């Protein structure tokens, strides 16, 4: 049976392929987006590697190729009336929420960017929760969180919850959070607000604490160049593996922050779409907040850089590594053992990182080499002010 799927932030790197995937299988899909990501790109003079048309052009291309329509809804989640009207009109079965400022470096540029990130992300999600309560209480919210909410505690990371035994009594809490940026902190606020909305109002939600995503295409975006998703490689919006691959193709050193011992969870773009689909197809119960840790493998930054370097050298590219001072405030080496079994139990079949996959990414990047902006690879955004010395 076809479902009504509302994809918030459906013009973005993750949202666009997600919307295409649901449309391809016959669901009725609408994209709600304020197109702000394009404005942020212009502000910072960065651009996706592959050419991206306007939202109308992308939707027209999808209609021509697939014979299916995706409905555009252009507006801002921080406009409460707009959010209410959108839910009342579309009546979604599932709301997939990518519609936030997605970059930790962007949130750390200065006070203005930090305040914008917090206000945009937290208020937008609050408006959504109130609109769900009042006009769409049966909808299932699938919200993109981040593994960065947890930080890197020196104990195992559970999937969202932790049972604490204290003075002979026990209680299960949301897992304690130690986020590493103002962006990640906004996601923590979201998680607490969603937890409140499920407990107090009986809403249903799944919070997907996602690792770092890499990849350049999915089955649908590969059908035609006009369907490409916004693959970023710059220091603001690009993720580590994507950026390393572009650096290798550009012939610049692959830059590793510090010693490169920082360990994180990673997953392929195709697996992001698969995880969101699994969460949507098996909704949470009313009054419940499920939390899934959404990643497939863990790597240190140095391990990723070395894999890209090796693959590039095999393809005849003169790749090399360089260690740069870390602009972030984070542990160089740390314990990291997060659980991530729930999505596997739902049926996720991971696309693990392989040399063949890196080779494919490098080949695609080579085809668009002329669009690489070298200046955007290192933009010197620092988590802490430089120390003044005599």
What six digits make up the tokens of 93? 């079965």
Whole-Å CA distances, 147 to 50, 314, 342 = 27, 33, 15
Hey, which residues does 292 pair with through a beta bridge?
Answer: 208
Residue of 13, 98, 106, 183 marked catalytic: 183
DSSP code string of 318-346: ---EEEE--SS---SS----B---HHHHH
Residue 328 phi/psi, 5° resolution? -95, 160
- Asked about 143 being catalytic, the answer comes back as no
- Asked about 175 being catalytic, the answer comes back as no
- 81, 79, 76, 22 alpha-carbon torsion, rounded to 10°: -40
| Short-list 236, 256, 237, 258, CA closest to 247 | 256
CB neighbours of 370 closer than 8 A, spacing ≥ 6?
A: none
- Contact present, 294 and 209 (Cβ < 8 Å): yes
Task: Give pairs for 80-83: CB < 8 Å, separation 24+.
Answer: 80/127, 80/130, 80/131, 83/124, 83/127, 83/128, 83/131
What six digits make up the tokens of 316? 């005849």
Q: Is residue 295 exposed (0-12), middle (13-18) or buried (19+ Cβ within 10 Å)?
A: buried
Residue of 143, 187, 214, 229 marked catalytic: 187
What six digits make up the tokens of 80? 């409460």
- Contact present, 48 and 231 (Cβ < 8 Å): yes
CB neighbours of 353 closer than 8 A, spacing ≥ 6?
A: 214, 241, 266, 268, 297, 299, 307
Residue of 18, 146, 221, 239 marked catalytic: 146
Handedness of CA 82, 84, 90, 92 (dihedral sign): positive
- Asked about 177 being catalytic, the answer comes back as no
Hey, which residues does 321 pair with through a beta bridge?
Answer: 254
Handedness of CA 382, 378, 235, 215 (dihedral sign): negative
**Catalytic residue annotation:** 146, 183, 187
């Amino acid at each position: 049976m076809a479902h009504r799927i509302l994809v918030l932030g459906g013009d973005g790197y993750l949202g666009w392929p997600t919307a295409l995937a649901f449309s391809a299988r016959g669901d009725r899909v609408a994209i709600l987006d304020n197109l702000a990501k394009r404005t942020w790109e212009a502000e910072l003079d960065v651009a996706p590697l592959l050419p991206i048309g306007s939202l109308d052009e992308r939707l027209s291309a999808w209609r021509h190729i697939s014979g299916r329509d995706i409905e555009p809804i252009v507006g801002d989640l921080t406009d409460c009336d707009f959010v209410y009207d959108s839910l009342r009109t579309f009546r979604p079965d599932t709301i997939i929420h990518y519609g936030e400022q997605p970059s930790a470096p962007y949130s750390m540029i200065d006070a203005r960017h930090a305040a914008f990130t917090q206000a945009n992300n937290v208020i937008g999600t609050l408006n959504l929760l109130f609109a769900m309560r009042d006009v769409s209480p049966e909808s299932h919210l699938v919200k993109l969180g981040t593994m960065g909410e947890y930080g890197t505690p020196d104990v195992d990371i559970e999937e969202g919850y932790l049972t604490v035994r204290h003075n002979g009594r026990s209680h299960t809490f949301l897992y304690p959070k130690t986020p590493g940026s103002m962006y990640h902190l906004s996601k923590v606020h979201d998680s607490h607000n969603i937890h409140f909305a499920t407990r107090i109002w009986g809403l249903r939600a799944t919070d997907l604490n996602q690792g770092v995503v890499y990849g350049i295409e999915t089955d649908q975006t590969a059908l035609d160049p006009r369907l490409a998703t916004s693959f970023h490689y710059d220091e603001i919006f690009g993720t580590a593996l994507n950026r390393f691959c572009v650096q290798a193709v550009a012939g610049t050193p692959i830059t590793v922050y510090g010693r490169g011992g920082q360990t994180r969870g990673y997953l392929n773009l195709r697996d992001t779409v698969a995880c969101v689909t699994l969460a949507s197809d098996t909704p949470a119960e009313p009054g419940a907040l499920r939390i899934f840790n959404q990643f497939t493998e863990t790597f240190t930054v140095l391990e990723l850089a070395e894999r890209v370097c090796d693959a590039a050298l095999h393809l005849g590219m003169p790749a090399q590594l360089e260690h740069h001072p870390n602009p972030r405030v984070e542990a160089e080496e740390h314990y990291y053992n997060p659980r991530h079994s729930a999505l596997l139990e739902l049926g996720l079949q991971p696309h693990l990182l392989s040399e063949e996959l890196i080779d494919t990414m490098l080949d695609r990047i080579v085809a668009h080499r002329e669009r690489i902006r070298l200046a955007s690879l290192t933009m010197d955004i620092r988590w802490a002010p430089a120390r003044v010395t005599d």
